[in-house]
A and B are shown apart, each in its own frame.
Chain A
Amino acid sequence: MNGSVSGGASSSRERVLARVRRALADVPRDERPRDVGVERGYLRVHGDRTAEQTVDLLAENLADYRALVHRVDAAGLPRLLKRLLAAHGSRSVLVPPGLPSEWLAAADPAVVPDREADTAYELDTVDSVVTGCAVAIAETGTIVLDGGPDQGRRRITLVPDHHICVVRVPDQVVRSVPQALERLDPGRPQTWISGPSATSDIELNRVEGVHGPRTLEVILVGGGSERQAPSVR
């Protein structure tokens, strides 16, 4: 086949578009995209749940995909973070620029601020990362990061092996994927996380943490006092 070596890039553009238009000769010329109906009878949410039940479902679905789930009230958060970082044996913890400083006030590991100049190699030497989130989806057990000040760049939740994500309940929890998309800004880079990294490529055995953090801990911060979520493994 002859490509566009002589024609240049713009001619390929015209060629492909012309082919598309010729291929669609059967589409009436006056038909507008909106004239092709899309039946959106599907549900905005599945099931009928109170805000509290929605948070419970989030906890359940997160745990089902092997995230470690914790629940705590705002006052207990620093102590819980201290405990989780110690339990993981972390000596350093990476923080995005806008993470509330009181969260890690009690923690022992050295706090490493994320700096643009840091290379991926430098991130690789850090033990843990703590972030907030943009929104969490109960029906699917998903936390969404959108690069907000308490979440930072996409890479900081990727390279370290241990990620602790703090979700404010019930404000940051939505029930469904459609509700999450409504809240999110497509202009911001997003990472949707459902459980830790996993593969089933070897004889369909599930193995956690091929490349992303091998341990994902999610802290649901709400009104109640500190307790483990019921379905934690």
Chain B
Amino acid sequence: MSGTSDTYLGMPAFPAAARDAVRNETLRENLRHATHTIRDKRAKAVAELDDWALLRAAGRDVKERTLRHLDHYLLQLEESVTAAGGTVHWAADAGEANRIVTALVKQTGQSEVVKVKSMATQEIGLNEALEAEGIRAYETDLAELIVQLGDDRPSHILVPAIHRNRGEIRDIFAQRMGSWGRPALAGLSDDPAELAEAARVHLREKFLRAKVGISGANFMVAETGTLVVVESEGNGRMCLTLPETLISVVGIEKVVPTWQDLEVFLQTLPRSSTAERMNPYTSMWTGTTDSDGPRTFHLVLLDNGRTDTLADEVGRQALRCIRCSACLNVCPVYERAGGHAYGSVYPGPIGAILSPQLRGTGSDVDASLPYASSLCGACYDVCPVAIDIPEVLVHLRERVVEGGEVTRNGERVTIKPAKGHTAERAAMRAARWVLDHPGALRAGQRLASRTRRLHPKRLPGPGRAWTDTRALPEVPAESFRDWWQRTRGGAR
């Protein structure tokens, strides 16, 4: 990662960060409430579709096909976007993506941009890079606005300001809106409707005058060149249609082969994410259209560690992720530790496998992330593209403690085992943190049966000292919870 994203560098390893979160009772209560509410609603939304398992398998297959032939689909995408009037740029890393976007904004002569929530631009630290060049980036998603005004970091993929109460949000709006634009009216209360109205008024002024919009995308269709943004509030539509210039920064893994493939993800994403049959707004655009929407469209295709991840045959599956956040909401560790402890824009189970692959396992926090899990397997069960997160976690643990061949910045390198290194201590502490939190561990035995073929005779790394003197308990053929789920009568 290049310098602009150092918001997260120097982060303490997972256990230290998690310890603070566990002490913060407000945060824990908010998280518990949020994750349980969304998770229960999701289960209902999923149960409405009796072909869920088949949709999930198709989603996995489509993404697998794409990844195995990513060069083919990227070239096809480039051709169709260009044919539709867009311009495609390629960025090997964060620094390059930031330079491209900054130059494009400067070409327009503008010094401010409106942004719709985009994890890719957070990952590369685009706002800070623009700021350094005198360009102000306004986040327009309500939660991102709360985070930005509060000089804070997002803590959840879907509800980034979930760690904030309405009272805190009121204070942030009352104190900070004025220095970013239109101030909140005097006497603002903490009523959610009134707070949303304050955001509407504050942001509308920005939308109406904006000349440049910046977005990410949920999907890019190779055969047609269509980009898709899925959202709720309408700030996405504002950023995608009102400005004259639109710049979309999208990870190369977001491509899908065909228009028809959208039928899978437009059914699985909203239900997995917000537990809705469909999210309120979905925008789709193909290049530029006369007099409807931006006259200039730029697509910046971002690598930034994705090809390194692709090179790992086990870890590759993390690139199937459609960022629905379902895995966060079922994760007992995330529920207690909170999003910030993961030291990355990608928190929760997906963050625990994605960040160490995108960034390598060189830092304390990245080396500890594969241990920030009880391996209970709930994340795998809910994942709409069937990413076997526990499998990748075990694989990454092995990499941390045993070292071996990996790809970094496109080159094959051999990393040393973490033995004696701070990373091992970090990992050890993370493992212990999980072991010390019975709730986080409760469903742990599920992994054993799910991954029987992967189950080692001896635990790798930090667990080894322990198993050296004890035989690892026999793995039951099926855990009680699996048996219960299987026999309860086919909820889905």
Contacts and interface: CB of A to CB of B under 8 A. Distances in A.
A22 B50 CA distance: 40
A177 B58 CA distance: 15
A5 B162 CA distance: 39
B107 to A, nearest CB: 14
B58 A40 contact: yes
Contacts of B240: 154
A147 B286 CA distance: 13
Contact of B199 (A20, A23, A210): A210
B54 A201 contact: no
A116 B93 contact: no
A99 to B, nearest CB: 16
Interface residues of A, dominant DSSP: loop
Nearest to B412: A22
A211 B234 contact: yes
B90 A9 contact: yes
Nearest to B222: A33
Nearest to A14: B90
Interface stretch (A87-95, A192-200, A221-229): A192-200
Given A20-B71, A43-B51, A1 B281 contact: no
Nearest to B73: A33
B62 interface: yes
Contact of A16 (B73, B289, B303): B303
Nearest to B78: A13
B454 interface: no
Interface stretch (A69-77, A105-113, A138-146, A165-173): A138-146
Given A36-B65, A192-B278, A204 B58 contact: no
Contacts of B203: 211
B70 interface: yes
B292 A124 contact: no
Given A194-B276, A202-B195, A204-B34, A36 B204 contact: no
A16 B92 CA distance: 6
B421 interface: no
A193 B291 contact: no
A125 to B, nearest CB: 11
B242 interface: yes
Contacts of B372: none
B188 interface: no
B307 A20 contact: yes
A192 to B, nearest CB: 4
Contact of B262 (A37, A43, A181): A181
B165, B237, B242: which has the most chain A beta carbons within 10 Å? Answer: B237
Contact of B283 (A124, A190, A199, A201): A190
A188 to B, nearest CB: 7
B457 interface: no
Contact of B280 (A32, A61, A204, A212): A212
Nearest to A158: B237
A181 B263 contact: yes
Q: Considering residues A24, A178, A200, which has the most beta carbons from chain B within 10 angstroms of its beta carbon?
A: A200
B125 to A, nearest CB: 13
Interface in B158-192: 159-162, 165-166, 169, 192
A20 B70 contact: yes
A212 B68 contact: no
Interface residues of B, number: 107
Contact of A178 (B49, B69, B263, B308): B263
B185 to A, nearest CB: 17
A192 B234 contact: no
Interface in B328-355: none
Nearest to A190: B284
Interface size class of A (residues with CB under 8 A): 35 or more
A53 interface: no
A203 B166 contact: yes
B267 interface: yes
B233 A211 contact: yes
A182 to B, nearest CB: 8
A187 B224 contact: yes
Contacts of A153: 241, 291-293
B99 A197 contact: no
B260 interface: yes
Nearest to B260: A181
A175 to B, nearest CB: 12
B128 interface: no
B289 A188 contact: yes
Contacts of A158: 234, 237-238, 241-242
B189 to A, nearest CB: 12
Contacts of A19: 92, 303, 307-308, 311, 410
B280 A195 contact: yes
A42 B274 CA distance: 22
B51 A36 contact: no
A36 B64 contact: yes
Given A15-B92, A154-B293, A186-B226, A39 B280 contact: no
Interface of A: 1, 3-5, 9, 12-13, 15-27, 31-33, 36-43, 46, 61, 65, 116, 119-121, 124, 137, 139-142, 147, 153-155, 158-159, 177-178, 181, 186-205, 207, 209-212
Given A4-B96, A190-B284, A212-B280, 8 more contacts: A1-B2, A61-B277, A153-B292, A189-B284, A192-B283, A201-B159, A202-B192, A204-B159
Interface of B: 1-2, 30, 33-34, 37-38, 48-51, 54-55, 57-58, 61-62, 64-65, 68-75, 84, 89-96, 99-100, 140-143, 146, 159-162, 165-166, 169, 192-193, 195-196, 199-200, 203-204, 207-208, 221, 224, 226, 232-235, 237-238, 240-242, 252, 257, 259-260, 262-264, 266-267, 274, 276-286, 289, 291-293, 301, 303, 307-308, 310-311, 313, 407, 409-410
Give 6 closest A-B pairs by Cβ, nearest first.
Answer: A212-B234, A211-B234, A3-B96, A23-B311, A19-B307, A192-B282
23 contacts: A3-B93, A18-B410, A19-B92, A22-B311, A23-B308, A24-B310, A33-B72, A33-B257, A36-B61, A38-B61, A42-B51, A120-B207, A139-B277, A140-B277, A181-B266, A189-B289, A197-B281, A198-B233, A200-B159, A201-B141, A207-B192, A209-B200, A211-B140
